[in-house]
Amino acid sequence: MFRVIVTQAALAAGPVAAAPAGDLARGEQIYQACTDCHSLDQNDVGPRHRGVYGREAGSLADYPYSDALKNAKIVWNAETLDKWLTNPQAFVPGAKMFFHLADAQDRADVIAFLKERAR
Ligand code: HEC
């Protein structure tokens, strides 16, 4: 019985350990690297980010996405953004974003920023 409970607790803890909690202030600093190509309210090299959290990938009518992202059928949330920012080319082959964040904490922080500040 005890063993069963421990196993379930370990399973429940799994995803939490994989995705550290995001720090908004740090995320804002990390977002500066994104602003080479993105801003919250203007399309640039990349699409604007206002409202991106919860939005379907490739869905702004006024930004010229790759066909790959337009057809990806992904909704941006903590999990999909984490995969995208780890390696956009691996997550959506043919996507035209060539930038990634190798550090899981950096990704979590910038995702917190997008979720809270890019609403
Ligand atoms: C060198 C330019 C560049 C940088 C730097 C960059 N991106 Fe992008 N990003 C793009 C391009 C181009 C696209 C469009 C991809 C496509 O259409 O396949 C994109 C798309 C995205 C999307 C999908 C948005 C949508 O409307 O579906 C997200 C989310 C995103 N980027 C987040 C980020 C974040 C967060 C950072 C910083 C950690 C970042 N990007 C840094 C160029 C960049």
Q: Which structural domain range is residue 35 located in? A: 2-117
Tens of pLDDT, residues 8-30: 444 444 444 556 789 999 999 99
For residue 50, the CA-to-ligand 1 centroid distance in Å is: 13
The number of CA neighbours under 13 Å toward the Cβ of 95 is 23
Whole-number pLDDT of residue 18: 58
Query: How many independent structural domains does the chain possess?
Result: 1
Q: Are 86 and 100 in contact (CB under 8 A)?
A: yes
Question: For the chain, how long is the longest CA-to-CA vector?
Answer: 57
Place of tokens 């337009």: 70
Q: Are 76 and 57 in contact (CB under 8 A)?
A: yes
The CATH number assigned to the domain holding 91 equals 1.10.760.10
74 CB near ligand 1 (under 6 Å)? no
Mutate to test the pocket of ligand 1, among 28, 35, 37 (most ligand atoms within 8 A of CB): 37
Tens of pLDDT, residues 30-86: 999 999 999 999 999 999 999 999 999 999 999 999 999 999 999 999 999 999 999
The token duo for 101 is 């964040």
76 CB near ligand 1 (under 6 Å)? yes
* pTM of the complete model: 0.88
